[in-house]
């Protein structure tokens, strides 16, 4: 699409839930009044909620990806496969290695860096597995398959201090239990869940209604030992070491790391909190720069209450979708006029899969105190999650409008 002086230039960094949904929503709302560029380090969109199924060997990772260039080009959105290395808010420009991209509006949807370095020995280059990319999940799958071939074994699923995305750890622990029971070898394996949360089912948000009791009961029925308030300080080749001095030996160990904001965001003075997450107003606009918005994992959300070992607030895919729509709505209002919306006080729904059943949780709003919470458990939720994967990938391919909102 040729640039004309009257068209606003919108640059979006990130090609995942936040970036793609913002780009599509902006195109729908502003049509040809804007030039939209999406810059992403990866050429594909990956449906990360299904990565735990890759770890279990229940999904081919290739099935979870959509190549971005084609679908974006069809909607007149420029796609740049590149790594943003710098942001200069005063010149209103981001830079990849070879090119500068000036903008009228910037949307930061760059998620997080995985902070494996914070705990010596964790991470796929060291002693524990992880599940944030298809490559990590495939490596974890192979390591798990090796461990399950042992005559007996110890499985430890953990999360580092300050982790926020702990939900997949719950899923993997319960799915391994399901897989072992299916082959009648559960009695040969010990499964531990080692978490910084103050109670099982806290999820970084103080729990969702009775989620603490629910997951405590679920773990009891599945014989999964929950170790809470755990500050993992080191991983050795066969064990996790906690700040309390206790050790948790494993044949298969998977540890979810804490997150840091992207380096290019951390480098821009005044844009972020100390961990590198963009501080935003309820309209998802940077508290410092009027023409910068941020959505999804990239934004700063303070924990509802302190915990003995730090746990950060998760930003789920569902929340990120809604933030993308809200940011697009507010940028459209900046450009074309109209009402503005609050993209921070969100309701969130999530399905935690256990392999043989699943939990559907909804919190409105996401952080307490809340107007409404709902939880349901059943095999239907497992199938709903599987169906949602197919729907969501088709939605990214075809720019289907999302299901549950009015903006
Ligand atoms: C294993 C797992 C299971 C999950 N399960 C669920 C679930 O069941 N339900 C749910 O709602 N959510 C789930 N989530 C969370 C969900 O995946 C995230 O909320 C969502 O991915 C956040 O989207 P995002 O766009 O903010 O960031 P991300 O998905 O992290 O994407 C960031 C994007 O920015 C790009 N990028 C980063 N830095 C740069 C740079 N410097 N230059 C260019 N591009 C850059 C990346 O390549 C990527 O495209 C899960 C997450 C994981 C990892």
- Would you say residue 3 has pLDDT above 70? no
Chain segment 99-137, per-residue pLDDT in tens: 999 999 999 999 999 999 999 999 999 999 999 999 999
**Mean predicted confidence (pLDDT) in 234-260:** 98
Distance CA 114, CA 122 (A): 11
Chain segment 44-70, per-residue pLDDT in tens: 999 999 999 999 999 999 999 999 999
Kindly report the pTM of this predicted structure. Answer: 0.97
Distance CA 109, CA 97 (A): 19
Query: Cα of 317 to ligand 1 centre, how many Å?
Result: 7
Q: Which of 37, 38, 39, 40 to mutate to test the pocket of ligand 1 (most atoms within 8 A of CB)?
A: 40
Chain segment 157-200, per-residue pLDDT in tens: 999 999 999 999 999 999 999 999 999 999 999 999 999 999 99
Query: What is the reported pLDDT for 267?
Result: 85
- Residue 295 · residue 320 · CB < 8 Å: yes
Distance CA 108, CA 234 (A): 33
Q: Please tell me if the CB atom of residue 15 comes closer than 6 angstroms to any atom of ligand 1.
A: yes
Angle at alpha carbon of residue 315, lines to 346 and 24, rounded to 5°: 75
**Mean predicted confidence (pLDDT) in 30-40:** 97
In percent, the amount of the chain with pLDDT more than 90 equals 95
Q: Is 241 left (phi over 0), alpha (psi -120 to 50) or beta?
A: beta
* Distances in whole angstroms, Cα of residue 149 to Cα of each of 129, 181, 216: 17, 14, 28
Of 290, 258, 10, give the one whose Cα is nearest residue 132.
Answer: 258
- Residue 280 · residue 182 · CB < 8 Å: no
- Residue 189 · residue 180 · CB < 8 Å: yes
Active-site residue, selected from the candidate residues 165, 191, 235, 295:
165
Q: Please tell me if the CB atom of residue 297 comes closer than 6 angstroms to any atom of ligand 1.
A: yes
Beta bridge partners of 193: 157, 226
Query: What is the reported pLDDT for 406?
Result: 44
349 CA closest ligand 1 atom index:
11
Q: Please tell me if the CB atom of residue 18 comes closer than 6 angstroms to any atom of ligand 1.
A: yes
Ligand 1 atom 18, closest CA: 317
Q: Which of 25, 110, 276, 325 to mutate to test the pocket of ligand 1 (most atoms within 8 A of CB)?
A: 110
Of 223, 255, 216, 191, give the one whose Cα is nearest residue 359.
Answer: 216
Q: Please tell me if the CB atom of residue 203 comes closer than 6 angstroms to any atom of ligand 1.
A: no
Q: Would you call 215 exposed, middle or buried from its count of C-beta atoms within 10 A (0-12, 13-18, 19+)? A: buried
- Would you say residue 407 has pLDDT above 80? no
Distance CA 204, CA 354 (A): 20
Q: Please tell me if the CB atom of residue 17 comes closer than 6 angstroms to any atom of ligand 1.
A: yes
* Structural domains of the chain sorted by starting position, each given as residue range(s) with its CATH number in brackets: 8-114+259-344 (3.50.50.100), 117-258 (3.50.50.60)
């Amino acid at each position: 699409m040729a640039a004309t002086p009257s068209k606003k230039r919108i640059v979006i960094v990130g090609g995942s839930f936040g970036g793609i949904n913002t780009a599509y929503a902006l195109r729908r709302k502003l049509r040809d009044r804007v030039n939209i560029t999406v810059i992403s380090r990866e050429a594909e969109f990956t449906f990360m909620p299904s990565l735990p199924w890759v770890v279990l060997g229940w999904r081919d990772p290739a099935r979870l990806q959509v190549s971005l260039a084609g679908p974006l080009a069809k909607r007149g959105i420029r796609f740049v496969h590149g790594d943003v290395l710098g942001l200069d808010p005063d010149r209103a420009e981001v830079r990849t290695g070879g090119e500068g991209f000036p903008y009228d509006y910037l949307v930061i949807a760059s998620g997080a860096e995985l902070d494996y370095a914070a705990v010596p020995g964790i991470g796929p280059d060291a002693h524990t597995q992880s599940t944030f990319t298809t490559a990590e999940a495939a490596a974890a799958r192979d390591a798990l398959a090796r461990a399950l071939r042992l005559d007996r074994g110890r499985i430890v699923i953990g999360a580092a201090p300050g982790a926020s995305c702990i939900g997949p750890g719950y899923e993997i622990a319960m799915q391994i239990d399901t897989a072992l029971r299916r082959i009648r070898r559960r009695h040969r394996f010990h499964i531990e869940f080692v978490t910084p949360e103050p109670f099982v089912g806290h999820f970084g948000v103080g729990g969702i209604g009775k989620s603490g009791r629910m997951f405590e009961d679920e773990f009891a029925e599945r014989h999964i030992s929950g170790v809470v308030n755990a500050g993992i300080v080191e991983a050795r080749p066969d064990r996790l070491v906690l700040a309390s001095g206790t050790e948790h030996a494993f044949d298969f160990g998977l540890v979810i790391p804490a997150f840091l904001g992207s380096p290019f965001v951390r480098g821009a003075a005044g844009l972020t909190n100390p961990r590198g997450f963009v501080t935003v107003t309820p309209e998802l606009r940077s508290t410092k720069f009027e023409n910068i918005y941020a959505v999804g994992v990239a934004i700063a959300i303070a924990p509802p209450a302190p915990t003995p070992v730090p746990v950060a607030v998760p930003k789920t895919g569902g929340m990120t979708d809604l933030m993308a729509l809200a940011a697009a709505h507010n940028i459209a209002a900046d450009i074309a006029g109209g009402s503005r919306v609050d993209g921070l006080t969100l309701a969130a729904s999530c399905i935690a899969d256990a392999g043989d059943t699943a939990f559907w949780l909804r919190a409105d709003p996401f952080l307490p105190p809340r107007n409404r919470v709902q939880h349901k458990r059943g095999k239907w939720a497992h199938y709903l999650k599987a169906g949602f994967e197919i729907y969501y990938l088709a939605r990214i391919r075809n720019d289907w409008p999302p299901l549950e909102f009015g903006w």
